[in-house]
Structure 1
Amino acid sequence: MRAWQFEGAGRPISLNEVPEPEPGPGEVVIDVAAAGLCHSDLMYMEVGEETMPFLPMTQGHENAGVISALGDGVEGWSIGDVVGVCSSGVRPPLGMFSHGGFADKLVADARDLARVPEGLDLSLAALATDAGMTSYHAIIKVGGASTGMKVGVIGYGGLGQIGTRAAVLAGAEVHVAETKESAWDLARQAGATDVVRDAAEWAGRGFDLVVDYAGFDTTQKAIDAVARGGTVVQVGLGLPTFTVKTPTLLGRTLVGSLGGTVEDIEEVYDLFVRREIEPAYTEIGFEEIGDGLERLRRNEVTGRLVARLDR
């Protein structure tokens, strides 16, 4: 079968022929129908040689498809079920520490499966497993966005667009910082109160919560924006390292949020089905994944890129 694999630092992702996987106990094989492309894929291509347990590594951690094989002991799932796959920590994260979904098939732990509701487009089902789950978990479950809160969202990309809308639906007053002005109208349509190019403009504004979905050394700007007693949730991994001024942390909380749960995905699925959240995304072909990652690197993507393998 085909698989897009990271082979080493400084090398572009490569399309290779690899053996088809077999499910172990408690695992399923999924015929991948859709796979989202993420800035985290690029980050791991920079540091993966130091962190990945083996190479080459099939990337792709945002996946949906159809179960085609069951391992021993799998209960509650059947061949033909349509599922999304959550990197919840049950097994090493797909595409980073175990083979992911930039391939015709992938192996997943049955405990990491989310049932895709009837009628939900599989591109949305795929992007909900990371862009949806991670953004929703960070702003709702970790950040606690709710009625009466003044919330900042840094980065209106694949994650930020969903986090913004989720916070608006929760009743928060939401402000967005996004360098790409072509995304500003989308942010306003999602319910953002205002949009700025640089989160530095928020300094001293007394936000209750800022969620940084960018991670391009933007965390200090988030800290400067929140009031004493406020919280900054770090999600984005645009750069492998960045700095903060230690005294500015006093009286404020800085917490990292990684991934989420199957429950988070299914809650996002419900919001998608009810069209409460309608994220922007662009579909590409499987053969375009390498070029798609380069488009991400050049910041040419609005919303999310999703590769479709079933068309």
Structure 2
Amino acid sequence: MRAVIAAEPGGPEVLSVGELPDPTPAPGEVVLRVAAAGLNRADLLQRQGFYPPPPGASDVIGMECSGTVAAVGEGVDGWSVGDEACALLAGGGYAEQVAVPAGQLMPVPAGVDLVTAAALPEVAATVWSNVFMVAGLKPQETVLVHGGAGGIGSFAIQLAHQLGARVATTAGTPDKLAACAALGADITIDYHEQDFVEVLREATDGHGADVILDNMGAKYLQRNVDALATEGRLVIIGMQGGTRGELDINALLRKRGAVIATNLRGRPTEEKSAICASVVEHVWPLVTEGLVQPVVHGTFPLAEAAAAHALMESGDHSGKILLTL
């Protein structure tokens, strides 16, 4: 099969298409013939040599894909050759075929085409598991979503809005802020020009955010705590702003707040399967109704993976970038 191979750690130019053996399904696995694969920030880190796949996972980059079932392993029920699906992966998505634990396979929601479905698994599983399963966002609460124009941010805005929360978000350009507002954001904040803590306090009459979904890490740590409401929950899912920060424990104690850091890729298959099942139960109906949709910036052929990575690194995109086969 064709697959994107990183010759060595480095920039986008290290990516090229080569040949690898076709995967075969182990017991409990399904092999998908890939139609499209979604790009994620973690893919850039893996290409640079900073984020290796979990033990036993494919070295090929790619944490989500969509496609058609090509083979079914022993002990798998509910999936047959020819079924269309999208999948949450530990690796292997940038290839013509990939082996997936059956529990991490999800049906393509009605009304979503097979290529676009590749934009769903990571964003849906990340947002649902962190904002709702972990942080317990409730209707009428306020959630602050950092990076609202990205794939995860754009999905978080829509899902929180549809489930009755008040949504604040940060973005870096007027066009991106307008796009966030169109998706359902009630409060939009230009992180270049405005202090999100001050804007949020003013917009919420001093209440702050009950939940914050943060992709920045260290750079925003103390300001995020400052922006929390009493009994607020800060969920850190990324480290774009660094890995080490200083935390004012007294400020957190006064608010009876919580700081939670999670990742999805390294979790055991059983946990990821439970998240996928919950996504299908709770999120897919909203996608099917057209109330929540993946935002796709554009697609690139598999052979142009380097160009797709360069675009993601530039930040000159909104929503998801997909590789197509």
Report TM bin, short chain.
0.7 to 0.9
SS where residue 175 of structure 1 aligns?
strand
Is 1:31 the counterpart of 2:45? The answer is no
Stretch of structure 1 that moved more, 128-137 or 239-248: 239-248
Aligned equivalents of 2:58, 2:128: Cα separation in 1: 31
Contact kept? 2:64, 2:118, Cα under 8 Å: yes
| Corresponding position of 2:289 | 274
User: Compared with structure 1, are the counterparts of its residues 216 and 268 closer, same or farther at alpha carbon in structure 2 (3 Å cutoff)?
Assistant: farther
* Contact residue 43 and residue 240 of structure 1 kept, 8 A: no
Contact 2:144 2:169 in 1 (8 A): yes
Which residue of structure 2 lines up, in the alignment, with residue 90 of structure 1?
none
CA contact (8 A) 1:43 1:239 kept: no
Q: Is residue 2:317 matched to residue 1:298?
A: no
Determine what percentage of the aligned residue pairs are the same residue: 28
Instruction: Report the Cα offset of residue 304 of structure 1.
Output: 0.6
Summarize the alignment of residues 122-141 of structure 1 with structure 2, pairs less than 5 Å apart: 122-141=114-133
Structure 1 residues 202 and 295 mapped into 2: Cα distance closer, same or farther (>3 Å)?
A: same
More moved, 198-207 vs 105-114 = 198-207
| In 2, Cα distance between equivalents of 1:50 and 1:30 | 22
Correspondence for 2:204: none
Contact 2:46 2:52 in 1 (8 A): no
Counterpart of 1:123 in structure 2: which amino acid?
V
Change (3 A) 1:234 1:252: same
Question: Match of 1:35, SS?
Answer: strand
Number of positions where the alignment pairs a residue of Structure 1 with one of Structure 2: 299
Match of 2:279 among 265, 288, 292: 265
Equivalent residue runs for 1:212-227 within 5 Å: 212-215=214-217, 217-227=219-229
Return the alpha-carbon distance in structure 2 between the equivalents of residues 279 and 27 of structure 1.
26
Q: Distance in 1 between matches of 2:167 and 2:323?
A: 30
Q: In 1, distance between residues paired with 2:219 and 2:244? A: 5
Closer, same or farther in 2 for the Cα pair 1:215/1:6, shift >3 Å? farther
Residues 237-286 of structure 1 show CA distances to partners (whole Å, capped at 9, x for unaligned) of 42561313233433310012333511243233322221101332122222
**Do structure 1's residue 211 and structure 2's residue 213 form an aligned pair?**
yes
CA drift of 1:17 comes to 1.2
Q: Which amino acid aligns with 1:178?
A: A
* Paired residue secondary structure (1:276): coil
Q: What is the aligned partner in structure 1 of residue 2 from structure 2?
A: 2
- Please report how far the alpha carbon of residue 305 of structure 1 lies from its aligned counterpart in structure 2 after TM superposition: 0.5
The 1:265–1:214 alpha-carbon spacing in structure 2 relative to 1, beyond 3 Å, is farther
Specify the SS of the correspondent of 1:58: coil
- TM-score where L is the length of structure 2: 0.84
Q: Post-superposition shift, 1:72?
A: 2.0
Equivalence for 2:268: none
Distance 2:42 2:61 in 1: 10
Matches within 5 A, 1:155-166: 155-156=147-148, 157-166=150-159
Q: Is the 8 A contact 1:128 1:268 kept in 2?
A: no
Q: Which runs of 5+ in 1 are unaligned?
A: 88-92
For the residue of structure 2 that corresponds to 1:275, the secondary structure is coil
Please state how far the C-alpha of 1:161 moved relative to its aligned partner: 0.6
Deviation string, structure 1 residues 9-66 (Cα, Å, up to 9, x no partner) = 3252332211111112221211001110111111223344766658992111111111
Unmatched runs of 5 consecutive residues or more in structure 2? 202-207, 265-271
Residue 283 of structure 2: SS of its match in structure 1? helix
The 8 Å contact of residues 29 and 107 in structure 1, kept in 2 or not, is answered as yes
Q: CA RMSD in A?
A: 2.4
